[in-house]
Amino acid sequence: MATSGFFAVADAAPDRRAVIDPDERVVSYGELANAANRIARGLLAAGVRADETVAVMMQNSVDLLAVYAATAQIGCCFVIVNWHLTIDEVAYILGDAAAKVLVVDAVGAAAAEAAADRAGVPTGLRFCTSDHPGFRPFAALSAGQSGDAFDERRAGQIMFYTSGTTGKPKGVRKRFGEVAPDEIGLSTGIGLLQRAPFDPANDDVHLVGGPLYHAAPIAGAAIALDAGATLVLMRRWTPERWLELVDRYAVTHVSMVPTMFHRLLALPAETRDAADVSSLRAVSHAGAPCAVELKFRMLDWLGPIITESYSATEGAGTTVTAAEWLERPGTVGRPSPGVTVRILDDAGAECPRGEQGLVYLSQTLWEFEYHHDATKTAEQRRNDLFTVGDIGYLDDDGYLFLCDRQAEVIVSGGVNIYPAEVEARLLAHPAVGDAAVIGVPDDEWGEEVRGLVEVASTATANDELERELVAWCREGIAHFKCPRRIDFVASIGRDPNGKVRKAHLRAPYWEGRTRRI
């Protein structure tokens, strides 16, 4: 099959299998394109214009993909909201993105309704895939509209939200060159380099195990559909279900995070051996550092088919094959085509090979800005380079090694958690005199969120207070960001400038480790 790009595939092979949803319902390319075309015309009829924002707050589903495909061809900004977030967090994102349309499912509806009220999303442009007060039926968005293909398309864009050091989410807006209407696909508005080796001549099957509100899963899905592959969607990842689906559908491509590796390898060997995974040709992982020993075990099991990439929402970075990694265990690879990687010191001078510094990446492939935050945009840049604050070094052959995942950010299960937000919540409790939040080692998640608390003079540090503070956090911010434990300390130890020495606080927990994993 020579045709590429989702819309072209749907036109040339409408009966081709496109998606197997979490309930194992099969949807063809023609059916998905028809739904997307009807939704796109419904959005236009509702007055939505190019560059305006359409937001969704949904679990992995065909409906989510259809809304995205609709926005991708009428020039809209598409925002996928994490349905685990609190009402305050959702309201902030919807308001910051100026969402004109909101589509939700049953899981996100209750929080989304309150958030949409605060953010000012028009009541007539709120839709739900189930019956929920305050939302119109999802079917109403496309009712009466034609499913015919568009004669002219305008590329849309996904705006991903990534938290800053203040904990407030920041939208990353990218600027691409013009794309011819007949070349527009689902990956056009994401900006991608590390493309999995799908072969349009084969019946490739790509398994999406992570939630589509994360960049890597939606990017992988977009690339697969642009290549004419079949997507298999998981609603909730478990190692047993992953093995079952790989076996049943002869899955060829998967994208994962190291936590998934850990859970698969924790299964009894007989459970893993019972599933046929021989169809796998390409396993990619990103999103979090992977322990060297863990990756060795995965390579022993699956063979040299595992590729790792290091990048950021803001731009592409590096990639490394299994063969390269085995020669240099721990590396995240060399720059992807068109990317420059430089290691700079605090003064902006380039560090010698082997010397640690801030990792900077080039912006030559596209420009980006943080939505409504010109100051942060400028702070992250040096000329035509940008950094997200990661520390690393290049070896003599130009392979990048990361020494730490940002000085402060906690990476748990492939998700970035920003301590400032959690600290702010802890400091709002009357029993807390001062607080710091750090990541401590966790064999399954990579890092666990740990709260360090200096109690107020009127409070007593004990187990009851620890339980109270954990519950306090869970009431105010998303549960996955909250500490599971609180350690009470005599003093947080701020310096004269009021800054906390996080490296000093982390050191006892990471003693004997060569790097944070």
Contacts of 507 (CB under 8 A, 6+ apart): none
Q: Same domain, yes or no, for 304 and 443?
A: no
Place of tokens 């000085």: 407
Question: Which of 342, 375, 404 is the last residue before a domain boundary?
Answer: 404
- For residues 62 and 412, which has the higher predicted lDDT (pLDDT)? 62
The predicted-structure confidence for 449-469, as pLDDT tens digits, reads as follows 999 999 988 899 999 999 999
Q: Are both 494 and 386 inside the same structural domain?
A: no
Taking only the tens place, the pLDDT of each residue in 259-270 is: 899 889 989 999
| Percentage, residues of the chain above pLDDT 70 | 94
First to last CA, the chain: 42
Same-domain status, 393 and 415 = no
Domain end, chosen from 404, 419, 451, is at 404
Total tally of structural domains belonging to the chain: 3
Q: Range with the lowest mean pLDDT among 5-14, 68-77, 338-347, 501-510?
A: 501-510
The answer on 399 and 428 residing in a single domain is: no
CA distance 484 to 473: 10
Do both 240 and 267 map to the same domain? yes
In a domain, 1, yes or no: no
Question: For residue 276, what are the contacts with CB-CB under 8 A and spacing of at least 6?
Answer: 246, 247
Instruction: Confirm whether 280 is domain-assigned.
Output: no
Does residue 53 sit in the same domain as residue 90? yes
394 and 420 in a single domain? The answer is: no
pLDDT of residue 3: 52
- The answer to whether the CB of 413 falls within 8 A of the CB of 404 is no
Q: What is the mean pLDDT of residues 49-64?
A: 97
Residue 421 carries which DSSP code?
H
DSSP 294: H
Which region, left, alpha or beta, applies to residue 447 given φ > 0 means left and ψ of -120 to 50 means alpha? Answer: beta
Three-class secondary structure of residue 466 per DSSP: helix
Cα–Cα nearest to 194, from 84, 317, 44, 26 = 317
pLDDT tens-digit map of 219-273: 999 999 999 999 999 999 999 999 999 999 999 999 998 889 988 998 999 999 9
Whether 279 maps to a domain, the answer reads: no
- Same domain, yes or no, for 12 and 114? yes
* pLDDT tens per residue, range 135-164: 999 999 999 999 999 988 999 999 999 754
Quote the pLDDT of residue 499.
65
Q: Give the model confidence (pLDDT) of 327-357 as tens digits.
A: 999 999 999 988 999 999 989 999 999 998 9
User: What is residue 36's predicted lDDT score, i.e. its pLDDT?
Assistant: 98
Helix (H, G, I), strand (E, B) or coil at 161: strand
pLDDT digits (tens, 9 = 90+) for 470-504: 999 999 999 999 999 999 999 998 754 456 778 78
What whole-number distance in Å separates Cα of residue 180 and Cα of residue 137?
A: 34
**What does the pLDDT read at residue 450?**
97
Are 92 and 157 contained in the same domain? yes
Residue 460 structural domain: 410-510
Q: Is residue 284 part of a domain?
A: no
Q: Are residues 46 and 177 in the same domain?
A: yes
Whether residue 331 lies inside any domain: the answer is: yes
Q: What span, in angstroms and rounded, lies between the C-alpha atoms of 90 and 130?
A: 20
**Would you say residue 281 lies in a domain?**
no
Residues 241 and 244: their CA atoms lie apart, in Å, by 5
Query: What pTM value is reported for the model?
Result: 0.84
| Helix ranges (DSSP H) in 26-61 | 29-45
- pLDDT band for position 165 (50/70/90)? very low
In sequence order, what are the residues at sequence separation of 6 or more whose Cβ sits closer than 8 angstroms to the Cβ of residue 361? 311, 312, 314, 315, 316, 317, 339, 340, 341, 385, 386, 387
- The answer to whether residues 260 and 300 belong to one domain is no
Determine, yes or no, domain membership for 283: no
For residues 312 and 270, state if they share a domain.
no
Listing DSSP states for 199-239 in one string gives -TTS--EEEE-S-TTSHHHHHHHHHHHHTTPEEEE-SS--H
The CATH number for 153's domain is 3.40.50.12780
* CA distances from residue 212 to 65, 141, 161, 219, 384 in whole angstroms, order as listed: 9, 22, 13, 9, 30
Is 26 a domain residue?
yes
Mean pLDDT, all residues of the chain: 90
Q: Which amino acid would we find at residue 263?
A: R
Of 74, 444, 98, which Cα lies nearest the Cα of 288? 444
Domain final residue pick, 371, 404, 437: 404
Domain of 383, CATH number, reads: 2.30.38.10
